[in-house]
Chains A and B, each alone.
Chain A
Amino acid sequence: MGVIVLLILFIYVFVNTNLIKVEKITVTNNTKKIPIKNRTNFRYSWKSAIS
């Protein structure tokens, strides 16, 4: 059981370290006008940033 858990953890960390994700973001004139408050100290995902 312990070996299986360790193996799963190893695979999880290995994939996390070695799989590149490519994000595409389109910057338009509208992007500049998005009235989002200053978000210092606030973490949010890539997906929510620009539609």
Chain B
Amino acid sequence: MLFLNGKLSNIINKYELDYLIITGDLSNNIFQHKKIVEEIKKIKVNCKILIALGNSERSESRFLHRKRIDNRQDLVREDTNREKIRVLINESEIYNKDNLKILFYGFDNSIYGNEKHDFGLEASEFDYRILFAHSPNIIKFIEKNHIKYDLLLAGHTHINQINIPIVNKLKNKYWYYHIGLKVTSKKVFCISRGLGTSRLPLRINYFPGITIFNFN
């Protein structure tokens, strides 16, 4: 994955990260998959790389054609199953060090309706609750079930990918979601702009981006 400012792993390795969270859509098809998994393995983190499944892990896409497949999620899990890399499919990971207890929970809404929550975690005390999922639609599930969180991360929308005023709103089914952060009382909801493209291999008016959160 080569960008104008270097390889993805080199860009990320400049920062000393504890956790890296990838909110799905690793690749559009099986041909890109191996390269991207290799790139992810080169990324250095102090703790873990956590991955949520995206709709691209359930489908094969070539240009405008998209076909549903059922085994890519297993492939992602097998290929990335390393000590420092974990795919969270409705599962949690707990960081507990230096008097800091952080909950990470990865929802699987790569197919709508697949998302489940471990409600046993609601009773536990955490300094921060970081939830993540692929599609920002997870907010409906979270609000419906009154799930506690401090930071919610999602992706999927590519921030419209092609941002042409007016056309943008007519064409995009996710136009009502915000870009970047939405801060409500005591909660932060972040929708990442993502790195890749879907169908058309181009972006207009919005750069790909990585967000680094520093918890003080």
B-contacting residues of A (Cβ < 8 Å)?
Answer: 12-13, 15-29, 31-46, 49-50
Contact of A39 among B128, B178, B205, B215 (CB under 8 A): B178
A-contacting residues of B (Cβ < 8 Å)?
Answer: 3-5, 8, 11, 15, 128, 150-151, 176, 178-188, 195, 197, 201-216
Residues in A whose Cβ lies below 8 Å from that of B206? 16
Query: Quick check: B183 and A20 within 8 Å, CB to CB?
Result: no
Contact of A18 among B3, B179, B180 (CB under 8 A): B3
Among B15, B151, B178, B197, max chain A CB count under 10 A is at: B178
Among B186, B195, B201, max chain A CB count under 10 A is at: B186
Q: A16-B206, A18-B3 are in contact. Are A25 and B183 (CB under 8 A)?
A: no
Q: A18-B4, A40-B176 are in contact. Are A46 and B205 (CB under 8 A)?
A: no
Helix, strand, loop or mixed for chain A's interface? loop
Query: Quick check: B214 and A32 within 8 Å, CB to CB?
Result: no
Nearest chain B CB to A44's CB is how many angstroms away?
7
Q: A46-B179, A50-B183 are in contact. Are A25 and B211 (CB under 8 A)?
A: yes
Contact of B202 among A17, A27, A45 (CB under 8 A): A17
